[in-house]
A and B are shown apart, each in its own frame.
Chain A
Amino acid sequence: MNGRNIWIMARKELSGINYEKTIIFAILLQLFVAMFSSFLMVGLTSMYDPSSVSQYSRFRYSIAYSGTNSTLLDRLLESDDFTVYSMGLSPALESLKERKLAAVIFVPDTPPDSKDPVQITLYTLQNDLQATVVGVKLKDVFLGFEDDLRTARASRITEQPIEVQLPPAARTEGFYEFVFGLLIPLLVFMPAIISASLIIDLITEEYQHETLETLVSTPITFPEMVWGKILACEILVPAQAGVWLILLALNGIRIENPVPILFLVSVASLILILLSALTALHYRERTAAQFIYSTALVVVILLVVSVPDNPLNLIVRASVGNAGLEIYGAILLVSAVAAALGYATHLYARRIGRLAQGSV
């Protein structure tokens, strides 16, 4: 094993990526994602947590109240979010269809302390972002009304839950858990996944383009060639992940412990890269290797995520600043696995190299 040969090989692959301008596609992709990010942010976050949508509108919504008067009507009139009109049900529904109203509420004449439940009917527009927002705002009012009714029926309730005084609802915060708990581990591990599929391309290419014999006839040995390719892919991981972290910081999302995170990602991605290098060396054909790799990737990710204190979880905790020394332990553990896999890859590459030399 010669360090310089490995470096020559890695440089060859990196300049190949640079020459083919394929990296431009990666950058374009990142730009494209950045362009859609505001949309993604709203869209994905509200998928993840619909109540965060409500901060996007500070309008007064027009709603119609129909049926018997109740404390619900008083609560709606008090609310800053709504302009309430008392209307007949039929014209109100027609106005709703014409989008002149955001919602229609019908309340029957059930007394508050009745044995029966009070069953009100809420009409909203189907599958509409506005309806989503109105629903969130109405929920608060309904909860208040439910409290009124519960108080009226309190004598019939046998077990009360532990009462906890919650701070006033913070409407402004909705993205934090999404950004730190999902987006950051996703973005940081994306380069690892890309690099692992890149190594398959680099290795199978030598086989399928039949350039392997030329390479093996140079002073560079087969294991050196494999390690050079692995190095080229590995270098890209912290570089890309680092760029993501910087971009996020520019967007005002500050991450704690960036260095241990990048370190952990680099070692963990080395495992992925080594696994796919082994797959590629075994199959020597891109379609098969990529197919096996992508299926195996899903299995590995599922297994990793279901274990407590997994690397992805540690990245989440480190990025919010709640991880102690565990992250260093994880780095050590993951490094050990990577070293073992690296040794296996080395042995396998050496065997293949000998066989190849024998045939040449």
Chain B
Amino acid sequence: MGIFSDIFTIARWEVKKSFSTMGRNVLPLAVILFILLILATGFVARSGMHLQDGMYLIATDDRELGNILASDGRFMVFIGDASTIESEISAFDLIIVNRTVSQPTTDRGRAAAKTLSRDYSQYVASVYSREPDLFAAYPLWIDLQYVKSELDFQATQSGQYISVRQRSAEPPLPQGPVVQVTPPPAVIPYSADDLRKNLQQDTGKNDQIARYTNLFTQQPSYSSFKTPDQLSPSLPFDSIIFVFVFIFPLYFTSQFFMMSIMNERIERKGEILLSSPLHPLVIIAGKMLPYLAGMLITSVGVILAARASLLILLPLLPVILFFLASALLIGMLSRSFKELSFISIFFSTIATSYLFFPSIFANVHVVSLVSPLTLIILQLQGTGFSAADYLYSTSLFYLTSGVLLYIGAVNFNAERLFDLRPFLPRLREFITSSLSRVHPYRSLFLANIFLIPFVFMLQMMALVLFFNLPMPLSLVLLIAFAAFVEELAKSIGVYSLFAGEITSLPLPTILLASAATALGFLLGEKLFLLAMLSQITDSVFGSILFLQQGALLLWMPLLLHFAGVLIVTLTIRAGGRRWYFPGVLAATVVHSLYNLYFILGAVR
């Protein structure tokens, strides 16, 4: 139990330290700011946002209409008689004379017309919703029913637009068994008064904001009945806004952790800890614990406030670990505060895109499971997720956090922490000291196995990005990008281990090192595929990323990986370190050609 008490001791120090630096001075101002924040939010809620006021100039000869339009801040309304308006038509974005709208053919004019037509239909709705015979003014009600489609990956092989493929006169009959459904009843199950209330509520509020706040409040059950005008399309983006509420506190807390690590380094307080007999991992775990606890508590708070299921914590956990592990490395790597700021902004942008973009396709595509946030969305919707889904979408995060923590722990010593050299050489040093110089081949082999999760993460991101592009382009881009990432990853080990002496390295060493790298990479790749990725690898996209050579022997990809590393190492050996990137590019070209050859074969 010694280790745990050590961890707790360090965690207690960490809490104490951060409270002593933050506590007394910051707390009063923080409280004042918090009160101000609440007041400001109230103020904005009352006076509204005035960002787009007066974007469009509009002129009309109808006073009544003008007053109606002026209620939208975006319009600056000029009321005059028809002849003056028509003589100065070019000065306005939109003119309404004799109740007919005309607009100049500028972009702004068109945008103004669009805003006007939206405002106008809102005005019409507000008049009609006062009508005593509601069903005369609103004769049409639409009951929106969503059907869930579990599209398997195979179905997208021929492109994304499944629903447009049919062009024949024959109705598209289903392949599967038909379940008999009873036609829905013809009578609306709500009274006219209830519906009217709902209508008036809807026209009263700004629908741009309401769309997002609706998510938080329980909607009345008749809201699935809509008039055509209310038929706002089903937006996959709504749930993502909600997910942001979960992620934002995590960013904030990981900033504090980053800063704490950085402070140890510049104030040299870390030295005392380092001179203790404690293992670096214990120190790191102890320092991390308060932040981990803080993140978990905030998440539980958000979950309880949203009255959602606590199961959401499960997919959040790997994300939290990943943030903490990256924060540790960023705090250890950056030399100055400004570097810390820039790198952490950069990191959070990348992490955000990785986490958010896939989850836009929640429910549509298995690709979306790449991001653990998709699981949160599924859970929020009440669909839930299976253990296999969980393993599939979180394992990359667990593995990469593990590797990052390992690199952090290995380098958590005085020499690395108090070094102030540029970023990239330091990063290389960090990797180098994670490798063993005594057993270079073994560590190259192992390093490449553990690089695989990172490679997959990058390739997944590309898959999500390119998935939206039209088909041939997305294939080509994906092939080139996947090859580049793999070649870059494979070369990292060799480069950081031998960078200093590569020009004088004997050929047998290079051959052996390349072989070890290729073996490690291949083994890692295959292990990973076997473990979890069978869903994606069945598709044509998957076969680009992780070429499935069912019929081929394993020595073909092995030879490819070997050749790739060899090309890079030999280029650097011949030309020096400047030739690193050209070497990687050359290897990428070879790799892409190989992949193209086999994919064309597979397509044929």
Chain A: residues with CB nearer than 8 A to chain B? 16-17, 20-23, 25-26, 28-29, 32-33, 35-36, 39, 42-43, 46-48, 50-51, 53, 57, 59-62, 64, 66-67, 83, 85-87, 89-102, 106, 108-110, 112, 115-136, 138-139, 142-143, 145-146, 149-150, 152-154, 156-167, 169-170, 172-174, 176-177, 180-182, 185, 194, 197-198, 200-202, 204-205, 208-209, 283, 285-288, 290-292, 295-296, 298-299, 302-303, 305-310, 312-313, 316-317, 320-323
Contacts and interface: CB of A to CB of B under 8 A. Distances in A.
A96 B33 contact: no
Contacts of B30: 291-292, 295
A143 B228 contact: yes
Interface string B420-431: 001100000000
A135 B363 contact: no
A308 B132 contact: no
Contacts of A172: 110
Nearest to A168: B113
Interface string B484-504: 000000000000000000000
5 contacts: A22-B336, A126-B148, A127-B239, A128-B236, A312-B51
A106 B181 CA distance: 12
Nearest to A285: B21
B40 interface: yes
Interface in B175-228: 175-181, 183-188, 208, 225, 227-228
Contacts of B74: 177, 181
B236 A102 contact: no
B267 to A, nearest CB: 7
B369 to A, nearest CB: 14
A153 B341 contact: no
Contacts of A100: 162-163, 165-166, 172, 174
A62 B172 CA distance: 9
B23 to A, nearest CB: 9
Contacts of B135: 115-117, 153
Given A61-B164, A62-B166, A145-B228, 15 more contacts: A22-B338, A25-B339, A25-B345, A95-B174, A129-B236, A143-B229, A166-B101, A173-B110, A288-B22, A295-B33, A302-B37, A303-B43, A305-B49, A305-B51, A309-B50
A42 B467 CA distance: 14
Interface of B: 18, 21-22, 25-26, 29-30, 33-34, 36-37, 40-41, 43-44, 47-57, 62, 64-65, 68, 74, 76, 96, 99-103, 107-108, 110-111, 113-117, 120, 123-124, 127-128, 130-133, 135-149, 151, 155, 161-167, 171-181, 183-188, 208, 225, 227-229, 231-237, 239, 241, 255-256, 259-260, 262-263, 266-267, 335-343, 345-346, 349-350, 353, 357, 360-364, 381, 422-423, 465, 468
Contacts of B267: 208
Contacts of B50: 305-310, 313
B478 to A, nearest CB: 15
Contact of A322 (B25, B55, B255): B55
Residue picked from A35, A136, A295, most chain B C-beta under 10 Å: A295
A101 B172 contact: yes
B33 A296 contact: yes
Contacts of B151: 99
B231 A158 contact: no
Given A124-B147, A163-B99, A131 B233 contact: yes
Given A22-B338, A120-B143, A161-B124, A176 B108 contact: yes
A146 B227 contact: yes
Given A138-B231, A320-B108, A98 B341 contact: no
Contact of A60 (B164, B172, B350, B357): B164
Contacts of A102: 163-164
Contacts of A85: 171-172
Contact of B341 (A51, A135, A198, A317): A198
Nearest to B256: A287
A38 to B, nearest CB: 8
A124 B183 contact: no
Contacts of B116: 166
Contact of A173 (B107, B163, B235, B346): B107
A142 B142 contact: yes
Contact of A142 (B133, B231, B353): B231
B34 A127 contact: no
A121 B234 contact: no
A283 B239 CA distance: 39
Residue picked from A57, A172, A201, most chain B C-beta under 10 Å: A201
A265 to B, nearest CB: 15
A53 B57 CA distance: 26
Contacts of B235: 46-47, 50, 132
A162 B120 CA distance: 10
A95 B26 CA distance: 61
A123 B26 CA distance: 55
Closest 7 CB pairs of A and B: A135-B233, A108-B186, A201-B337, A142-B228, A149-B139, A94-B174, A176-B111
Nearest to A118: B140
A121 B186 CA distance: 9
B145 A123 contact: yes
Contact of B136 (A153, A180, A298): A153
A96 B143 CA distance: 17
A319 B23 CA distance: 44
A341 B73 CA distance: 32
B139 A287 contact: no
Given A161-B123, A170-B110, A317-B54, A39 B138 contact: no
A177 B29 CA distance: 38
A96 B234 contact: no
Contacts of B65: 162, 164
Contacts of B142: 119-122, 142
Contact of A117 (B139, B164, B232, B241): B139
A353 B37 CA distance: 33
A150 to B, nearest CB: 6
A228 B3 CA distance: 49
Contacts of A164: 65, 96, 99-101, 120
Contacts of A145: 140, 228
Residue picked from A83, A129, A152, A172, most chain B C-beta under 10 Å: A129
